[in-house]
Amino acid sequence: MDIKFLTDIGFLIGSVGFVWGLKLLSSPDSARRGNTIASIGMGAAIISIIFAPLNQGDNNYPWVIAGLAIGAIIGYLMAMRVKMTAMPQMVSIFNGLGGACAVLIGMVELRHFYTGASAMSGGQIAISLSALFIGGIAFTGSILAWFKLEDWLRDNALILPKHSIFNMALLVVILAMGIYIYVQNIDAGIGLAAIFMVLALVYGVSFVVPIGGADMPVVISLLNSFSGLSAASAGLIYGNNFMLVGGILVGASGTILTVLMCNAMNRSLLNVLIGGFGGGAAGASKGAVGGQVAKEVTLNDAAIQLYYSGSVMIVPGYGLAVAQAQKVCKEIDDLLESNGVDVKYAIHPVAGRMPGHMNVLLAEADVPYPKLLDLEDANAALKNTDMVVIVGANDVVNPAALDDPGSPIYGMPVLQVWDAKNVIVLKRSMNPGYAGIQNPLFFHEKTRMLFGDAKDTLSKLVTEIKNL
Strands 447-451 and 342-346: unpaired
Helix, strand, coil % over all residues of the chain, rounded to 5: 65, 5, 30
Cβ within 8 Å of residue 307, ≥6 positions away: 335, 336, 339, 341, 465, 468
Cα distance between residue 396 and residue 215, in whole Å: 12
pLDDT at 62: 84
pLDDT digits 0-9 by tens, 275-327: 544 444 434 444 445 556 889 999 999 999 999 999 999 999 888 888 888 99
Cα distance between residue 280 and residue 295, in whole Å: 26
Cα distance between residue 323 and residue 273, in whole Å: 30
Looking at 83-215, list the stretches that DSSP marks H as alpha helix, in order from N- to C-terminal side.
87-114, 122-149, 163-184, 189-208
Closest listed residue to residue 230, CA positions, set 207, 206, 245, 247: 247
pLDDT at 54: 53
pLDDT at 383: 93
Other beta carbons within 10 angstroms of residue 214's beta carbon come to 26
Instruction: Say which of 395, 403, 404, 453 is annotated catalytic.
Output: 395
Cα distance between residue 235 and residue 267, in whole Å: 33
C-alpha separations of 288 from 22, 68, 111, 284, 429 in Å: 48, 56, 63, 8, 11
pLDDT at 272: 66
Closest listed residue to residue 108, CA positions, set 95, 96, 117, 121: 117
SS3 label, residue 1: coil
**Are the CB atoms for 389 and 415 separated by under 8 Å?**
no
pLDDT at 248: 92
pTM over 0.85: no
Cα distance between residue 414 and residue 404, in whole Å: 13
395 noted as active-site residue: yes
pLDDT at 281: 40
What stretches in the chain show pLDDT beneath 70?
1-2, 28, 53-59, 84, 155-157, 212-214, 267, 271-292, 355, 432-436
Amino acid at 418: W
Cα distance between residue 183 and residue 150, in whole Å: 42
How far is Cα of residue 236 from the mean position of the Cα atoms in its chain? 27
3-state secondary structure 308-333: CCCEEEEEECHHHHHHCCHHHHHHHH
Other beta carbons within 10 angstroms of residue 455's beta carbon come to 19
Measured N-to-C along each axis, helices 357-364 and 87-114 cross at an angle, to the nearest 10 degrees, of 130
**Are the CB atoms for 192 and 129 separated by under 8 Å?**
no
Burial track 358-392 (b if 16+ CB lie within 10 A, e otherwise): bbbbbbebebeeebbbebeebbebbeebbbbbbbb
Cβ within 8 Å of residue 113, ≥6 positions away: 119, 120, 125, 128, 186
Cα distance between residue 317 and residue 350, in whole Å: 9
Closest listed residue to residue 33, CA positions, set 45, 44, 41, 25: 25
Closest listed residue to residue 106, CA positions, set 87, 82, 131, 83: 131
Q: Report, in angstroms and rounded to the nearest whole number, the Rg of the chain calculated over CA atoms.
A: 25
**Are the CB atoms for 455 and 323 separated by under 8 Å?**
yes
Other beta carbons within 10 angstroms of residue 26's beta carbon come to 10
pLDDT at 407: 79
pLDDT at 158: 76
